[in-house]
A and B are shown apart, each in its own frame.
Chain A
Amino acid sequence: MKTFRLLRFAALLIVIGLVVELGTLGWSHPTAFVAFMFVGGATMAAGILLYLYWLIQRRPDETPREVSEP
């Protein structure tokens, strides 16, 4: 399921970005800010963009039946 992989990859990027951002909060140094912005922020932004792409490109029939049906 390609669509699953895309969604999981987006979520993975977001989680990695957020974890990096969390790690930088404990360090008061310009390097921490660089890591926050250009590593954590960029990874998270890539994940969000990928998620938005997944949202607009997916077709309704890709919804798994066991989830869509009551």
Chain B
Amino acid sequence: MAVDALKAGVVLFLCAVVQSSVLNGVDLLGGTPDIVLVALVAVALLRGSIFGAVLGFWAGLVLDTATLQTLGVTALLLTIAGFWIGRYGETTARDRTHAPFTSVLVVTFLLTIGGLLLDYVLGEAAPAGPAFASLPMTVVLNLILTLPVYAVARRLVPPREPADRAREVQLLG
């Protein structure tokens, strides 16, 4: 468990570094891929909500530090995203092939709105027009990233049956 957490932490750290130094400057037909989000979705789906929340917080903290943004903003958003996707993975999404794609699609959309709202609440610039204009292409790019990132994440942190999940029918009496 600890080793897996460490591996996932390192992966998300590297993803955050790549995101802040390379991918944030990429403009593919108006969209910008978000590898941190995709990796977080993959790990949270595979390992549950606690894993997702902690790694989301970690990745957000690294991103906020690397980009010198307000500390805690991205951490808050990714914590909630990781937790929510983790819960989805623990409940309905288990063993569903489309789960990573659905999750990435929805979370990319919600994270954009959440980021705008949070920036607005904090009194920072929140340009909704450009953000929504780039959203479709960003979603497409994230969906393209999903398959390889999920495959790598599955190898590094294989899914583990939660202890509280009944593995077999228990006969009473």
Real binding pair: no
